[in-house]
Structure formats: C-alpha cells, structure tokens
Structure 1
Amino acid sequence: MPWFAKPAMGLALAAAALPHAAHAAHAAPLDPAAARGAIDAQLDKIYPALDALYKDIHQHPEVGFQETRTAALLAARMRQIGFTVTEHVGQTGVVAVYRNGDGPVVLVRTELDGLPLEEKTGLPYASHYQQTIDGKLTPTDHACGHDSHMAWWVGTAQTLLAMKDKWHGTLVFIGQPAEEKVGGAKAMLADGLFARFPKPDYAFAAHVTPDVAGHVVIKQGAVSSAADAVVVTFHGLGAHGSMPDKGIDPIVMGAHFVDDVQTVISRQKDPQKFGVITVGAFNAGYAPNIIPDTAVLKLTLRSYDADVRQLLLDGVGTTARAVATMARASAPDVEHTEGTASVINDPALSAKLAGVLKTALGDSRVALVPVAMPGGTASEDYSEFVNAGVSQSVFFGVGGSDPAMLARLKAEGKPVPVNHSPFFAPQPEPAIRAGVETLVLAVLGVAGN
C-alpha cells in the first residue's frame, strides 16, 4: 500500500546532531554538497543498467509471496555488487549484508510485490504480465511504484560500495515481499530476521509519490496510518422472505451495524485525532425471497496513534455484539484478520537528514513536514521492522510526476494519477536518481566518517 506525501514546499528545515554512540568517536561532519557530486558521478555510470533493471521489473510484476523471479533478480544483482545475500527469508524475501568496519548497522528496505491490476499507461514498456491468483490468470502492474524502489535500492547499494571510504558500519539491505498484503514484514521477522542478521540501529525506506519528480518530502512523526482489517460475521436464522418473524435476519443486523459503528468515530473518538472505519464489503444472501443464515462484512480501520487504534478495534466488536443482542441472535464472529501500525519517523533524525538533503539537493527540492501536520492515510508495514527494535528510522517520500503533466492536469481540472491507479506512471530517471541520492545521503548522514 502506498504512502502518499502531500507537497509541503517552503516549510522551514531544522538540523539536529545525532551521532551514533558507537560511531561518534570517529564521526566527522558530512559535506553534503561534495557527497552529492560523488553520488551523481556514480549515477551517471550506472544509470543505464538501473533503467534496464527498472523496465525489466516493471514488465514482470509479481504479487505478494509470488515474487520468485523478482527476488532472484535482485539477489543476483546484489551478489554481483559484493553483498552477502540470503534468499527465501519470510518466503520470498531477500537480505543482503555488507560489512565495512566498525560503525552503526543501517537497514535499507525495498518492497518486491506488484498489484493484481491491468496497466493502462500506454507506455512502451507497460506490463502485459499475468499471474495465477486464487486460481485465475490475472493481469499484474507495479502501480504502487515498487519497481522504482527496487531500482533505487540497487543503485543505493552500488553507490555506497563505490563510496565505501566515506562511511563505516554494516549495511542490511532488505527486499521485502507482500507489502500490499501487509504481511511480508511480519513474515520476515517471524523467520528470524533480526536474530539471523544484524539488528539495525537506523532504518531507511522511501516511496515514490505523485509529487513533482525529484522532490523529497520528510514527514516528522506519523507518516502513514495504522491499518487493520476486520471481518464481522452475523449469524441469523434462515426463513422465507414472506415470513420474517420465523427467522432472524442477518442483513438487518448488518445494516444496523454499518450505521451504528460510525458512532465510534463521531461520538467516542477524540475529534482532533485521526480515525476511519470503512465497511468495504457486505455479503449476504443469494435470492430475493430467502432470509439468509449469515451476513459477512469486511472492514478497514485507519488511525495514527495506538490508543485510537485500540478504540476502533474495541468499538467494532462492541457494536457488532450489541447489534446481535438487539436482534436476539447469537454472538457474531469478529475476526481481526490483519493489521500493521503507523509508520513513525524519528522527529530529530528527520530534521537532521532534511538539513543534509537541503544542503545537497537545494532548498526547492526538499521539504520537512512538522509533527503537528497530519501524515498520509494509506498504510505501510515497514512499521513492523521499526517496532521490532530499530532505534531510529526515517521514511522518505520521493516525487515521480512530470511537472509539465501536473501543470496541464491542473489547468484542465483533471485529477493526477496516484499510486494504485492503472494510469500511475512515475518518470523513471528523475525518480530513481532522487531515490538513490536520498538514501545514500541518509546512510552517510548516520554512518559517514
């Protein structure tokens, strides 16, 4: 699922010194402008190969836990660069490790999966790939932008090794499966990720957005919302549609629930805190003259902080049970099928790296969004890695949209294609270059010597 960064140009940037305790003794001030020059010189050499990799991945999107070709491609590339690579971590995940002396352990993550969606961009390298999903051959598309992420992930690794005299420590590059299912990070952790491999002191990830290509947004505090999927099954008593008194109608229970559960938002949640409950599916019955036995409702819950998240989960269960009691029905099944917490950027490290990036890339390309402003409402299971014990983390937004296209669409009053749209088509070169610049500078900002 995507993280969507709202453009925030012109916001003030602040800097904060946060040397890693084990690294502070030999840390020296980073020269961001000189580092940017070295990064861009390396990018000039390797970009054609990154572009070819990007287009290959773009044309072969694989959905969650089916990313076998993608994972093998990235694993082979990282071995070629010089990393020690382990495959099949959390089913299809990849972990690449490179040790460069004493210093912090720095994690850099990319996602591997695409979406079950038909691409409609009309690009010459558009995806016509298909995979079998739930027994059906289905078109797939990297409509979230993970193809850009994989290309800049490889480019970041290659650039850091070309500049390994400028930093010390251990790199842990993670290729995570099934981000769209909100399950890949948990699968890797359950497979012993931080027991089998060095546990990071710092973690970084970046997501391409519909913002201006090359523009970088750093949000302090909450970046994305927590996401929870809940399935509520109401158990009624089937009967003829002409004799409702002889049954218990689960459709009526479901209808009451759809309406009543919104009072958790309007009457229980603090109105100054973000929270959403959406019923996205309501499945019951198959004939007009039959009262069915069951009604199944599928919900998504979104929130930022842990207290609101728990309030929503509790509220869904309490409301469902109250509705069933009112109908004299048996207790409903309330199943929390999946969930992930909000991605939270470390405010001080965000400010420090915003200062580094601003110095290197220029004022017009970097914006720091303060804690007080809301984050995105979509969700990301990158939070699972951070909450598993990473000391400090920053998740970046990197723009990928052609500015001329944005201006034209604005003038025409038309919406901009966003992540998960079949028309979403970031500009490869400026997005990939900006992703490499951002992530390399972030690593240098915490591990530079």
Structure 2
Amino acid sequence: MNINDIKVDVNEQVDQIFNKTQALYQHLHQHPELSFAEQNTSERLAKELSDIGYEVTTKVGRTGVVAMLKNGDGPTIMLRGDMDALPIKEQTGLDYASQEVGKKDGRETAVSHACGHDMHSSCLVGAAEVLYNLKDSWSGTLMLICQPAEEVFGGAKAMLEDGLYERFGRPDVILGQHNMPGLAGTVGHRSGVAMAACTNLGVIIHGNGGHGSMPAQTIDPVVIAAHVVTRLQTIVSREVPPEETVVVTVGKLHAGTQANIIPHHAELEINVRSFNDQIHAQVVDAIHRIINAECEAGRSPKPPEITIMNDTISLDNDAATFESVRRAHADYFGAENIYEVPKLNGSEDFPLFGNASVGGFDGADIPSLYWFVGSTPAARWEETEGNTVVEKMRNLEMPHSPYYFPGNPTTLRTGIETLVVGALNYLPSLAAELA
C-alpha cells in the first residue's frame, strides 16, 4: 500500500482516537503490574481490543492477550506490544504516578512503568482502532500481541510454548517497537543486530562456615566468590576478540550475616551481554569453567550450583523488512525524522517470535523488525548537552530510571502511527485491487 495515498486518513483517525488512547495510557501508567502478574492490565487491554471489534483470546502464555482481525485475503501481520512493569518506585512527580506495590521474590516492592511498556500497550490499542476503522481500505489479517513478562525474558517463550502460532496462525512479518531517549516525533531504525543477547545466571558457592577467629577450620565461600568476581573480568580482556563487544557484570554478591561468622555459602548473580550469539555462548561457557575451577581451588565441599535465570538472543532486524518499513516511515514522517539508531546493549525477548530454532516453532525464520520511538520532548532535547543522538542519550534519563517518563503526547501519537504505517506497508490496498 502506498502510504501517501492514505496519509490524510491515518492522521484523521489518530486525531479521533487520541484522547481515548491517552486516557488508557494514564490508567496503565498509574496501575502497573509485575511480570506474569499482569492480570488487571491484560483484562483491560483485552476489553479495549474486544470493544473495537477484534476476536480476543486471553491467558495465552499465562497472562498474554492475542487479538485477531481477519479482513479478507492477504498476509498476516503481527504487531507486538509488551505490558509488564518493574520493581522500581516512581519519582517522576506526575499527578498519575504509580503508587502500586507488588511482590518480587516474596518481598513487597514498589512498582512502576519505568520502561514504558504502558506506552507500548497503549500504542498497540490505538493502532488497532485506527486499522479497524480503515479496514475498508486494506485486506489481510492483523495479529496483535499483548505480551507479558518481557522484563524477565519469559513472556515471548511462554506464549510460543502455549501454541501461539499453532492456535492463531503463523504471521508473515512481525513488527515491534520501544521508546527511547530520542527526540519525540522521530523514529530510530537499524538493520541487522540492534540489541544485545543477554544471559542472567544465578550462582551458589558452597563452603563450610564457622567462627571468624578460626578460618583454618572452615572453607570460606566469600574468598572463593571474591576470586570468581575478579577472574570473570579476564574473560572479556583475554578470551574475547577485541572487535567484539561483551559485558560481564556481577550485579549481586551476598554472603554472611555479620563480621565474625564465616558463612556456609555465597550467592552471586551474573549478567552477560553481547551482540554475537556465538561469542555469547562461549562467554557463558567460560563463566561456568571459571566458577567450577575456583570452587575446586578453594576446596569447596561440593560443586557450585549454576542456573540460567533467564536469557535471550540478540535482536537481528531483517534487512529487507528494515528497508521496506524504514521507507514507509520516511514517507509518512519525513526523511528528516528518521535516523539510524546506534547498537543498544539492552536486550529484548522480541527476537524469539521470529527465530524458529530458539523460539521452538517449525519452518523458516519469520522476518521481523523492531524500531525505536523518541521519548524526549523538543524543549528538553534542545537543552540537553550533545550534538548527536548518542551524546544526548548519555545526558538523559534512560529506561529503568525512576525518573524516566516517555508518555508525552508527541511520543504517544508517533508510537500509534509507526505501528499503523508499518502494518499498512504490508497489507494490500483494496482500492488498488478494485482499480
């Protein structure tokens, strides 16, 4: 479909549904829910999509929602939005800031949408209504996904394991997006690898505790853990080719209760990120090797317990899909509002939907594309130090900050329009067929 032929119609439709979508956004922002606990969120989104006219199925992959609109012959276009929040206390000062609490690992915690998944869900619903209202101009099938648990890399896998494609059909192309600290009204694209693979490991190192005054009668897991932390830093410097980007972070190290007690065990959590899935696997193997070797060297009474808490592959945008959607976005928003986004070391489970071997579905990989919608209002962007997107990003709040807020009207509107334009780019025009 030629986007320019329907641009006025899209603008008019977005105008009509914008206030409604903004109200939905503010509601979701005020009432966030943690990963796999999105009960109220999924119910609200399901109702919104059902009221528009979509055939809606809930509880797909625990709390996921699938909304289908079959509108004649044509391809199936999947649009994905995530909906879970984070265990972070919001500090934005908004009059609709979250006051919600939830439970994380059995402990009560403040909850907020510090990553903008409320924005993604709202944009998806807004785009759904625009596309429904324009259904006389296109043919094909829309498959809308409200995905749970992106923050723990669990939702995409859960929905796929629940028979997503077997139950609802296999899409021909998959489109998704994320907000980011770019100029509101602009859209960032990148062909190929755009986001990092990520693995989070949990480790328990066993010792033999006792009195701090008699270390010779103990096996100290704290010393072993300290050697592990230090040794892990040599993986990147001595085992990874210099041209590759890899980060190994020990984000958690916990042991003991007080100074004069040598504990029985130490706990670590390790985060690995890279842009090369093969290198990534080698780094994870090296982590296992080092932990086991240090435990043996430290006389640990039994092998360490190493578990993969969650993981995801790198996000690799299909080149042909990138070229097609980027061109459509440039036609709609103007080429000056489209830019090349840098590689981001953050991670997503979105690529599992398109990768057959990792996603666990039959057949070839499904072409997919993931782009970025600017979230910084123009005045703030202008006053932020830096000449490039990367330079300015370093001086702006990022997702997962308690001060991060992407919900300005320009970003919300742009996020609706990017999804609409992306879908229409692949849906055959009925006007063209009738001509």
In the TM superposition, what are the counterparts of 1:220-369 in structure 2 within 5 Å? 220-329=191-300, 330-369=302-341
Listed as ranges, the gaps of 5+ residues in structure 2 are 387-391, 430-435
Partner in structure 2 of residue 377 of structure 1: 345
1:440 aligns with 2:411: no
1:40 aligns with 2:5: no
**1:200 matched residue in structure 2:** 171
Q: Measure, in 2, the Cα distance between the counterparts of 1:403 and 1:154.
A: 25
- The 1:201/1:284 distance shift into structure 2, 3 A limit, reads same
The answer to whether the 8 Å contact 2:2/2:425 transfers is no
Q: Contact conserved, 1:143 with 1:419, CA < 8 A, in 2? A: yes
Aligned residues: 415
Contact 2:180 2:399 survives alignment (8 Å): yes
Tell me the distance in 2 between the aligned counterparts of 1:84 and 1:240. 65
- The answer to whether the Cα contact below 8 Å between 1:58 and 1:147 also exists between their aligned partners in 2 is yes
Paired amino acid for 2:380: M
User: In structure 1, how many angstroms separate the alpha carbons of the residues matched to 2:98 and 2:253?
Assistant: 32
How many angstroms does 1:135 deviate by?
A: 4.6
Which residue of the other structure, out of 190, 213, 217, is the alignment partner of 2:161?
190
> Hey, what's the Cα distance between the residues in 1 that align with 2:108 and 2:248?
32
Q: AA paired with 1:447?
A: L
Displacement of 1:331 in angstroms is 2.2
Cα contact 1:166–1:444 (8 A) shared by 2: no
Residues 393-430 of structure 1: CA distance to partner in whole angstroms, max 9, x if unpaired? 1101000111211233439x993121111111224321
Inter-CA distance 445–274: structure 2 relative to 1 (3 Å threshold): same
Which residue number corresponds to residue 406 of structure 2? 426
Contact 1:42 1:159 in 2 (8 A): yes
Secondary structure, counterpart of 1:205 in structure 2: strand
TM-score after normalising by structure 2: 0.91
Return the TM-score normalized by structure 1: 0.89
Per-residue CA deviation, residues 340-360 of structure 1 (Å, 9 max, x unaligned), is 111111012102211111122
Conservation of the 8 A alpha-carbon contact between 1:284 and 1:294 = yes
Residue in structure 1 matched with residue 374 of structure 2 by the alignment: 399
| Distance apart, 1:57 and its partner CA | 0.9
1:79-126: CA deviation from partner (whole Å, max 9, x where unpaired) = 111110001111111000111112111111111111122211112222
Greater RCO (Cα-Cα under 8 Å, separation 6 or more): 1
- Write the letter of the residue equivalent to 2:25: Y
Query: Could you tell me whether the CA contact under 8 Å between 1:36 and 1:437 is conserved in 2?
Result: no
| Equivalent position amino acid for 2:217 in 1 | K
Structure 1 residue 259: deviation in Å? Answer: 0.8
The one-letter code of the counterpart of 1:147 is D
Deviations 1:231-265 (A, max 9, x none): 12211222322222222211111111111111111
Contact 2:377 2:408 in 1 (8 A): no
Q: Does the 8 Å contact 1:35/1:360 carry over to 2?
A: no
Distance 1:312 1:291, change over 3 A: same
Question: What is the root-mean-square deviation in Å for CA atoms of aligned residues?
Answer: 1.7
**Structure 2 residue aligned with 1:5:** none
What is the identity percentage for the equivalent residue pairs of Structure 1 and Structure 2? Answer: 38
After TM superposition, the structure 1 = structure 2 runs for residues 128-147 of structure 1, keeping only pairs within 5 Å, are 128-147=99-118
